[in-house]
Amino acid sequence: MKIGLFGGSFNPIHNEHIKIVKYTLEKKLVDELWIMPCKIHAFAKNLASEKDRVRMIELAIKNLGNVKICDVELKSNGINYTSDTIKTLKNQYNHQFYFIIGFDILKEIHRWYKHKQLFNEVEFIAFKRKNYSFKKVPEMKIPYLIDWKEKSISSTLAREKVHEGKSLNNLVPEAVSEYISKNNLYR
**pLDDT tens, position by position, 36-73:** 999 876 555 678 999 999 999 999 999 999 999 999 99
The whole-number pLDDT of residue 88 equals 94
In angstroms, the CA 141 to CA 132 distance is 19
Amino acid symbol at 42: A
In angstroms, the CA 108 to CA 151 distance is 22
Report yes or no: 64 and 55 within 8 Å, Cβ to Cβ: no
What mean pLDDT is predicted for residues 80-85? 90
The domain made up of 2-149 has a fold known as Rossmann fold (3.40.50)
Q: Which residues pair with 96 in a beta bridge?
A: 2
- pLDDT exceeds cutoff 80 at 78: no
Q: How confident is the model at residue 187 (pLDDT cuts 50, 70, 90)?
A: confident
Report yes or no: 2 and 100 within 8 Å, Cβ to Cβ: no
- pLDDT tens, residue by residue, 1-38: 999 999 999 999 999 999 999 999 999 999 999 999 99
Quickly count: other Cβ atoms within 10 Å of residue 172's Cβ: 28
Query: Phi-psi region for residue 111, left (φ > 0), alpha (ψ -120 to 50) or beta?
Result: alpha
Amino acid symbol at 64: L
The whole-number pLDDT of residue 17 equals 95
The whole-number pLDDT of residue 41 equals 64
Q: Would you say the pTM of this structure is higher than 0.85?
A: yes
What mean pLDDT is predicted for residues 149-159? 86
The whole-number pLDDT of residue 43 equals 54
Q: How confident is the model at residue 77 (pLDDT cuts 50, 70, 90)?
A: confident
Name every residue whose Cβ is closer than 8 Å to that of residue 67 and which is 6 or more positions away in sequence.
Answer: 21, 25, 32, 33, 34, 35, 61
